[in-house]
């Protein structure tokens, strides 16, 4: 609940894009999503031998918060939470 409610409410109450820099902002959002996706894949794809440290997520989450405000931070935290919960469920199934 703590991850889902801000991700739903923040974009509703806060504008995500400005009319003048819309294309540049969309490209930055795609770069942020790609960076976050690569880091999450490297963290959770091989949990026995992780390539990156979990602390590497902090600069990406700060990037989302500074450049996209509370809605960007909420969506980035939601993505981290969903992946952190989904990977163990998908990898470790009972026999």
Task: Tell me what the mean pLDDT of segment 22-41 comes to.
Answer: 90
Percent of the chain with pLDDT over 90: 27
Residue, of 65 and 94, whose pLDDT is higher: 65
Residue, of 14 and 72, whose pLDDT is higher: 72
Structure tokens at 79: 């993505």
Task: Tell me what the mean pLDDT of segment 82-88 comes to.
Answer: 84
**Mean pLDDT taken over the chain:** 80
Least confidently predicted of 47-51, 56-60, 71-75: 47-51
Of 22, 32, 87, nearest to 61 by C-alpha is 32
74: CB partners within 8 A, 6+ apart? 3, 6, 7, 9, 10, 11
Q: How many CB atoms lie within 10 A of CB 44?
A: 17
């Amino acid at each position: 609940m703590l991850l889902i409610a801000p991700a739903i409410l923040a974009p509703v109450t806060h504008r995500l894009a400005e009319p003048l820099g819309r294309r540049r902002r969309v490209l930055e959002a795609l770069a942020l999503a790609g960076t976050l996706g690569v880091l999450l894949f490297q963290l959770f794809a091989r949990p026995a031998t992780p390539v990156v440290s979990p602390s590497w997520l902090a600069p990406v989450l700060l990037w989302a918060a500074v450049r996209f405000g509370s809605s960007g931070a909420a969506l980035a935290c939601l993505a981290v939470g969903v992946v952190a919960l989904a990977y163990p469920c998908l990898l470790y199934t009972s026999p």
